[in-house]
Structure 1
Amino acid sequence: MTIDPQAKVVLDLLAAIGFTFGGTDPVSLRESMALGNTPSPIELAEVTDRAIPGLGGDIPIRIYRPSIEPGLPVVVFFHGGGWVVGDLESHDHAARAIASKADCVVVAVEYRLAPEHKFPAAADDAWAATEWVATHADELGVDATRLAVAGDSSGGNLAAVVSNLARDVDHVQVIHQALIYPVTDATCDRPSWTENAEGYMLTSDGMTWFHSHYANSPEDYTDPRYSPLFDELAGSAPAIVITAGFDPLRDQGIAYAEALRAAGVEVDHINFEAMFHGFFTMDSGIDVASEAQDAVAAALKAAFAR
């Protein structure tokens, strides 16, 4: 399998401008990524910002409504960025796409970032936000019995962690998890880690850099709130897992889908063989990104219809 021609155009452009994930200081990386933020063409009925309480202070959230109809299902969305970069703006288009295509309210969460706030700060904020949505459904005008979580990369990690935490409580019921090339195993000892080590935007060295900022020490790597593959997965929510063929994280995403299935969890796994890590948000230049968004939306709509 070779890289998709449209994906190659994007990768060549990134290489030409010298963009890399990691290897610099976090503030500089955040600033360079912010330069790439562009307004989304997707119009929704309402988009509002607010803050909710968290363990480390207020958590900014953004609420996306495809219509003003009350009682819509809701997706709590966590952005990617290695727990170090990313915010409500970087993934505004992804949140809008999910809200529009899955006909649901999306609550995007701006969790605390590392290295200023190390593990488990991001996981704590992700859980606090999901808990808040579940317990304030009437205020939000959403259906708490149709609550899903979603995220890409480190956001997929947080979505998986939240789904597993919700399994053990009664007041938060997650009915589906959409995991888009998620980080599931920080030990990173699978073939794709070396096969796709460089040349495809996210490098293995870059991912190691992210881990070095988020983790307090390598001992965190096997904590289920850091690496959900180390959790007991029976009873976790049904899932769609998206992976990319040219991604150093490909095999840990596949391993997580297989582990969920082995634990009796319903799983739909789709590997986009000719894609690279990060493609999901690039539908303006990569047609397959729209296909991946459609697949996630279809899985969510099916879960909401049950």
Structure 2
Amino acid sequence: MPLNSQTRILLNQIKELGLPPLNELNPVQAREQAAMGDQFSPKPEPVASVKNCIIPSSEIDIPIRIYTPAGNPPFPILVFFHGGGWVVGNLEAADSICRTLANQVGCIVVSVDYRLAPEHKFPAAVEDAYTATEWVAKNAASFQGDPERIAVGGDSAGGNLAAVVALMSRDRNFPSLVYQLLFYPATQYGFDTDSHRQNGKDYLLTIELLVWFWHHYLSSAADGQNPHASPLLADNLSNLPPALIITAEYDPLRDEAEAYGNRLQDAGVSVKMTRYDGTIHGFVGMANVLDQGQEALAEAAAALKHRFAIA
């Protein structure tokens, strides 16, 4: 279907700003410009408690933000990783999404400020994401969380990290995860799917920008063949937690995200895939101006709430 009217208006508004593409900037400039997009995020909701903490790690201390809803503990936990191509983004970029999910699900959300590339190339972000999830499982009781009900989630590059953490948790037998929430995840290093060809030019996330992100993230093309960078390439996807994979019709990552969902299903994993037609990559983070972003957040919240009640 054609772009819906809200998405078309948003793209025109962004075009009228006359900003250079992120891939024409250096990473520091790109981070500053990307932060301007917060105006399109869902309006920040008040949450019963929001606390910034530090996870001590052998590599580097990892900042996190813990969102705790109103209600009676212990609460289930969603560990969330922000998007931004592993190069841009931070706790603020995911703040509105995390607040909404904490309130709608009634769960604690732990947002992770993993190290960014190119200063810290692959697998630094992966190591931080897993370390943070491991810490959450070991320390859940200290912040009113339930260690038996932990899910991972993220958008775009954050969805990639959530999928990889699920793989690592299975392979290392800890922690035991009950769900993975993947908003339009990157699942493979490469630029040759139909959705890359169809949607790689006019919808914010371009092929040039994807190449720029991956170039900064990986030390070499060989790293892109590692399943911890490209989870779609993992030999075995069995015994992973159930998943919700949300995609957008006009997203170059659409096909690889859906291919990952199909492979999970083939491996016997319970998966729901929802494609939001007429909109673009990143639409969940633009829920202040895109109704479909609000719909996707509500779908994600309902799925998490159902899964947490079962676990």
Question: Does TM-score exceed 0.5, indicating one fold?
Answer: yes
Structure 1 or 2: more helix by fraction: 2
Q: Does 1:24 pair with 2:25? A: yes
Output the CA distance in 2 between the equivalents of 1:191 and 1:208. Answer: 16
Which of 256, 260, 266 lines up with 2:260 in the alignment? 256
Residue 91 in 1 paired to residue 110 in 2? no
Q: 1:21 to 1:242 in 2, by over 3 A?
A: farther
Where 2:91 maps in the other structure, the secondary structure is coil
RMSD: 1.2
Structure 1 position 61 matched with structure 2 position 64 = yes
SS for the counterpart of 2:263 is: helix
Distance 1:274 1:11 in 2: 12
Match in the other structure for 2:248: 244
Tell me how far 1:13 sits from its aligned partner.
Answer: 1.1
Give the deviation of 1:32 after TM superposition.
Answer: 1.3
Segments of 4+ in structure 1 off by > 3 A?
35-41
User: What CA distance in whole angstroms lies between the structure 2 residues aligned with 1:120 and 1:29?
Assistant: 21
Task: Report whether the alignment pairs 1:208 with 2:186.
Answer: no
Given that 2:180 and 2:244 are in contact with CA atoms closer than 8 Å, whether structure 1 keeps it comes out as: yes
* Equivalent of residue 299 in structure 1, options 294, 303, 308: 303
Spell out, residue by residue over 1:91-135, the C-alpha distance to the aligned partner (whole angstroms, 9 max, x if none): 110111111111100000000000000000000000000000000
* Matched ranges for 1:30-49 at <5 A: 30-37=31-38, 40-49=43-52
**Contact 2:44 2:95 (C-alpha < 8 Å) held by counterparts:** no
Structure 2 portions without partners, runs of 5+: none
Describe the SS at the equivalent of 1:126: helix
Structure 1 residues not aligned, in runs of 5+: none
TM-score by length of 2: 0.96
1:280 aligns with 2:284: yes
- In percent, how many aligned pairs have the same letter? 44
Q: TM-score, normalised by structure 1?
A: 0.97
Residue correspondence of structure 1 range 112-261 to structure 2 within 5 A: 112-231=115-234, 232-261=236-265
Secondary structure in 2 aligned to 1:133?
A: helix
**Letter of the 1:33 counterpart:** A
Distance 1:230 1:171 in 2: 22
2:105 equivalent to 1:102:
yes
The number of equivalent residue pairs is 306
The residue that corresponds to 2:8 in the other structure is: 8
SS of aligned partner of 1:161: helix
SS in 1 for 2:212: helix
What secondary structure sits across from 1:22 in the alignment? helix
**CA-CA distance at 1:14 after TM superposition:** 1.1
